[in-house]
Structure 1
């Protein structure tokens, strides 16, 4: 049904990530993906660009996995928008570099506390750039479909197809950059005009390469993040209305929501490589 066109991980939740030629996958998804998150020391919540009033600047920073520091503390290398770099470690106190960047006392985490939450802005209230400053937010639980202690929004793998990206481009009249949607795997499908083809995948299993099998759980409901600036990819609030008009799905227990891509749960583990075949099993 297709091949792996893009393979990505995002070492720090809500920061830019890195593309990979290959990756090991287990029950927690791609090794190193969402391994870290930023904790707001003021509220005790995990920082997420889903609340752009506070955290949109996280999407200007690129995160790269790096070996632990000399004391064995987990660490990540951050590259700022101006090209400067910082290596940040997990500690029990606010990190000076991160706190300066984000304008609040924050620190790095490598494990989510039980019941960890984020603040999520309602995308239905965002129609203009000004709405990103005033729309309401609500709390949501992390990692409901993932192993305890992880920082995923829901399940450990997020997949999109080139057909979905092509459909969004056709409806919006401008290219749809996959970076806006932060997928782990972009699947190149034979028919670029197939539309939102992965809407039909929930409840099925995919074999990705020779080793990995993933159960597709649910279509991915979209938040405000695709509308925000991602590195050099500029803000595009109108994209939220494109999704709302052209791919709203009724998700059991969740609602009738704009979607793009699917969440999946690995059930057989191994290595995925760029170019690997993707097929139903």
Structure 2
């Protein structure tokens, strides 16, 4: 059906991550993915989904250095270990308030804030109606990370080259580099067009020696429109997704989606070039 074209891991939530050639998949997702997050004193979990509050995190890069260990490269090139007091101090200065990097999710799930985008389908209508304006002047909605983790919802995120091609046709001036969408897996589907993964709902996918279950399409927020590393900000990226691909998600109504969330059925190892097939 397809092959693995790229693998990505994000050791610190909402920071830039690392490209991999192979990765071990555990029952919790890719080993080391979202193992850390930046937390503030109010119980907030750092997420660039609220760019005015946390967008600076996308100027930092994280890399796993061993089991339970990561290093963070700051915008000025300084590299410090996750958990080091100096890193917390430097990030606090960048964000303008006291924060710390932690590998311990809040006991009852930390607060996750999302900016309400202008495009349709960016948040469920019921959440848009309940949005409030916070101290940054941004209209936001609030929820919580998945209990015991730093994940928003799904443990593994997949996008396909077919969907990115389809969006590029709709917005030729846009750079639909998959990194904008922060996937774990980029699957190359050279003979497909449109959004073929829409037909995979509920399917079991064999990728390398790991087995996954497709759960739901991935609702998109403002993050793909922000600047990522050398990729410039482009608000038309998400306007294009909203115009071209709004699909029903659970009981939330039609949302702007790109990619899929997966649950792990069988741990294993994935390598670049591995086949992606529907398991029977």
Same-fold call, TM cutoff 0.5 = yes
CA RMSD, aligned part only? Answer: 1.9
The alignment partner of 1:95 has SS state of helix
Offset at residue 135 of structure 1 (A): 4.0
Mapped partners of 2:138, 2:195: distance in 1: 28
| 1:105 to 2:98 alignment | yes
| 1:79 to 2:99 alignment | no
The aligned counterpart of 1:181 is 181
| 1:139 to 2:138 alignment | no
Contact 1:213–1:267, Cα closer than 8 Å, also in 2:
yes
| 1:156 to 2:150 alignment | no
Contact 2:119–2:242, Cα closer than 8 Å, also in 1:
no
The aligned counterpart of 2:238 is 240
The alignment partner of 2:118 has SS state of helix
Mapped partners of 1:125, 1:176: distance in 2: 18
The aligned counterpart of 2:270 is 272
The alignment partner of 2:109 has SS state of coil
Offset at residue 90 of structure 1 (A): 6.7
Mapped partners of 1:279, 1:28: distance in 2: 21
- Consecutive unaligned residues in structure 1, runs of 5 or more: 69-73, 127-132
Mapped partners of 2:38, 2:277: distance in 1: 36
The aligned counterpart of 2:111 is 117
The alignment partner of 2:3 has SS state of strand
Give the length in aligned residue pairs.
Answer: 262
The aligned counterpart of 1:66 is 65
- Consecutive unaligned residues in structure 2, runs of 5 or more: 121-135
Mapped partners of 2:266, 2:80: distance in 1: 36
Mapped partners of 1:57, 1:34: distance in 2: 17
Mapped partners of 1:67, 1:177: distance in 2: 28
**Deviations 1:144-178 (Å, cap 9, x if unpaired)?**
xxxx4111111110000001111111111133011
Contact 1:9–1:19, Cα closer than 8 Å, also in 2:
yes
Contact 1:164–1:260, Cα closer than 8 Å, also in 2:
yes
Displacement over 4 Å in runs of 4+: none
TM-score, normalised to structure 1's length? 0.88
Contact 2:81–2:87, Cα closer than 8 Å, also in 1:
no
Mapped partners of 2:58, 2:87: distance in 1: 20
Alpha-carbon distance change, 251 to 67 in structure 1, aligned in 2, over 3 angstroms: closer
Contact 1:3–1:277, Cα closer than 8 Å, also in 2:
yes
Mapped partners of 2:179, 2:164: distance in 1: 11
Contact 2:12–2:33, Cα closer than 8 Å, also in 1:
yes
The alignment partner of 2:241 has SS state of helix
Mapped partners of 1:118, 1:241: distance in 2: 23
Contact 2:52–2:138, Cα closer than 8 Å, also in 1:
no
Mapped partners of 1:47, 1:80: distance in 2: 15
Offset at residue 27 of structure 1 (A): 1.4
Mapped partners of 1:65, 1:18: distance in 2: 8
Contact 2:7–2:20, Cα closer than 8 Å, also in 1:
yes
